[in-house]
Amino acid sequence: MLSLFLKCVLGAAVVLIISLLSKSKAFYIAGLVPLFPTFALIAHVIVSQQQGAEALQKTALFGLWSLIPYAMYLLMVYVLATKMSMWSCLGVAMVCWIVAAAGLIYGWQLFQN
């Protein structure tokens, strides 16, 4: 239970940091904070403890490939930010992320077996 609480506090701290940075002159750094491997660290510890080093290695490789959907999301936000409302832009970008992530998961399962 303490572990779950600490994870929640960590997530809240990240949101607070993003909020504070978004109000500063260096607002663009708020886009870097989510890339700090907070949740990846948690996932890697759990995977390593439950599945071992080989599973951790595969998880890291999949994490590298997962940069593709994130890049698609960022590209769509960049292209559409001045062409659509914020909510429409982010909605389209999220759909692109979902499609790219689904394709990645499908491809990963196809080539891992």
- Rounded to 5 degrees, what are φ and ψ at 66? -70, -10
pTM: 0.78
Higher per-residue confidence, 95 vs 15: 95
pLDDT digit string, tens, across residues 46-85: 999 999 999 999 999 999 999 999 999 999 999 999 999 9
The Cα 15–Cα 92 span in angstroms is 23
3-state SS assignment for residue 32: coil
